[in-house]
Amino acid sequence: MHMFADVAVTEVIKESDSYFKVRDASGKVWNLPCLFCQGYEDRDAPSTGVLAVAPVAPTVAVHMAHNATQLTDQVTICTNGDEEVAAELKPLVSSLVASKFNVETRQIKRLIGNGLRDSITVEFVDGSSKEEKFLVHNPRASPRGPFVAQLGLATTPLGDIRAEAPFWQTSVPGVFAVGDCSTPYKVVPSAITSGCNAAVAASAEIQAAKFNRALGP
């Protein structure tokens, strides 16, 4: 969820390392939290979870846990029974505040949404379960539609279209990929920037091709 407001800002107040308030010209105060886009409505939860499963690397899982712990008392990092991931996570987590972070190594059977309580129950294969206010994950993404295969575009290990910054040219000349389909950072500002840069490059490429044809036999 992203929100834009055309207002004049008159004051920015830093209340903590992760919490800011912005006052606009009308006197309205805007709260600016993390997890960057949403999640602040679930603040002060007793416990939340992070899914440390592919394609999320252990270091990324710890980063997501850092973000989640700003909104909750404790974060459980679930490895879904992956012993290698658990082994990589434990030294990373051991340097953190012990009361805040926990590594859960049991295999997950299923996730159950609790509509009335607005939470998620993580059920493990051993029959036990744990309720979390929300789960943080970075799932593997892939562009919709068949055009990636049709055009033979190269992709990254995360499933995004491989395109080189700053102009986002793909592996196929004349084809540019911008926005969420070509980066793991799926946020509006990045999409706008890549689209602008690719438009400049596409225009320049068209003009260059036209000019070269004009000089040909």
Mean pLDDT confidence for 101-121: 88
Cα torsion angle, 182, 40, 32, 68, sign: negative
Residue 2: the pLDDT is: 43
Query: What is the distance between the alpha carbons of residues 123 and 163, in angstroms, rounded to a whole number?
Result: 39
Residue 216: the pLDDT is: 42
pLDDT (tens digit, 9 = 90+) per residue, 34-82? 455 555 666 778 899 999 998 888 999 999 998 888 888 899 999 999 9
Instruction: Assess whether the region 43-136 and the region 147-215 belong to the same CATH fold.
Output: yes
pLDDT (tens digit, 9 = 90+) per residue, 156-165? 988 899 999 8
Residue 130: the pLDDT is: 93
Q: Interhelix angle for 58-68 vs 83-94, to 10°?
A: 50
Residue 135's beta-bridge partner residues?
Answer: 49
Look up residue 164 and give its DSSP letter. B
Residue 61's beta-bridge partner residues?
Answer: none
Q: Is 98 exposed, middle or buried (0-12, 13-18, 19+ CB in 10 A)?
A: exposed
Residue 185: the pLDDT is: 81
pLDDT (tens digit, 9 = 90+) per residue, 117-156? 688 999 999 999 999 988 998 888 788 889 999 999 999 9
Tell me how far the alpha carbon of residue 8 is from its chain's centroid. Answer: 29
Q: What is the DSSP string of 95-157?
A: TS-TTTEEEE-SPEEEEEEETTTTEEEEEETTS-EEEES-EE-------SSSHHHHHT--B-T
Residue 123: the pLDDT is: 96
The β-bridge relationship of strands 45-51 and 72-78 is parallel
> Which residues, 6+ apart, have CB-to-CB distance to 169 below 8 Å?
163, 175, 176, 198, 201
Percentage with pLDDT > 70 across the chain: 87
Q: What fold characterizes domain 147-215? A: FAD/NAD(P)-binding domain (3.50.50)
Choose which CATH entry (3.20.20.150, 3.10.300.10, 3.50.50.60, 3.40.50.12780) describes domain 43-136: 3.50.50.60
Ranges of each domain in the chain: 1-32, 43-136, 147-215
Tell me the two tokens of residue 169: 């040219």
Q: Is the predicted pLDDT of residue 172 greater than 60, yes or no?
A: yes
Q: Is the predicted pLDDT of residue 96 greater than 90, yes or no?
A: no
> Which residues, 6+ apart, have CB-to-CB distance to 10 below 8 Å?
23, 24, 25
Residue 82: the pLDDT is: 94
Confidence of residue 214 (pLDDT cuts 50, 70, 90): very low
